[in-house]
A and B are shown apart, each in its own frame.
Chain A
Amino acid sequence: MFVQVNGTEREVPDGATVTGLLAALEVPARGVAVAVDGVVIARTDHDRAVVPEGADVQVLTAVQGG
């Protein structure tokens, strides 16, 4: 299925959880946060939360700043 990740269309396995999506994108799960359709997914829910087809996914991490 296709989802939007940080504004770019990406193909991920059908029915992927947040954990599965991060693995498919080869993003390290540590130090990142995920919002699906504007809702922050708690880290403890990453293994359970299923990403719907066509979802708007934001993947964020810490960078130098402030």
Chain B
Amino acid sequence: MDDPLVIGDRQYASRLIMGTGGASNLAVLERALTASGTELTTVSIRRVDTQGGTGVLEVLERLGIDPLPNTAGCRTAAEAVLTARLAREALGTSWVKLEVVADDRTLLPDPVELLEAAATLVDDGFTVLPYTNDDPVLALRLEELGCAAVMPLGSPIGTGLGIRNPHNIELIVARAGVPVILDAGIGTASDAALAMELGCSAVLLATSVTRATDPEAMATAMRHGVTAGRLAHGAGRVPQRFWAQASSPPR
């Protein structure tokens, strides 16, 4: 595998992690996931309302995609820990996207509850991937607790506002010893490319694909955006200049 994404004890060829929320139906979701080339995709854990499963796990299994359960909707560390433990039994995975949000309007992570939940789950043997603020200090604290990656937001969940504080993302990347995954706020392919150019190891997105007019086409665009950004990051871009510099010979 060339240039794999390494998280914990796993390796992935794809640096695009997908979510499954927002897709209008499973057929649309399946085509989008296929087009994205993703190998790791989030699901949520909810009460069984009707008899039988929802079918999302079957889609992931068919496509050979690892499920990454999240703790979406949890407001406290205790809720998130319980949800992670339920997810481990339901899906047979100790990986969790840890999400503890403060309120419904911003869906911003609650850093106090997040740190407490992360500490408990790491101690319990989970591979913890925390959704966090774009706060370089908090990212370091999460890494020190033993999280396998840190996942700062570009902007609030579902806004499509892109990366509002690129310098903070660069600060997080500069000091991180674990993969930095840009999670939330991606609106279009150039946002995904920018995340990778800033040095992120991967991008996690859902809404920008599942709620696009053509999810399959946007998933393809995101796959190329992530690849382009990764290549550009490693290629050594030219310095930015104030004045023009001719690219053709003078005579």
Contact = CB atoms under 8 A, between A and B. Distances in A.
Nearest to A30: B53
Contacts of A34: 89
A32 B90 contact: yes
A63 B19 CA distance: 11
Contact of B45 (A26, A28, A38, A63): A63
Q: How large is the interface on A (under 10, 10 to 19, 20 to 34, 35 or more residues)?
A: 20 to 34
Contacts, number: 101
Interface residues of B, number: 37
Interface string B78-111: 0000100111111110000101000000000000
A41 B67 CA distance: 21
B46 A60 contact: yes
A41 B19 CA distance: 27
A28 B49 CA distance: 13
Contact of B54 (A40, A58, A61): A61
B43 A64 contact: yes
Interface of B: 19-23, 29, 42-49, 51-54, 56-57, 67-70, 72, 82, 85-92, 97, 99, 206
Interface of A: 6, 25-28, 30-35, 38, 40-43, 58-66
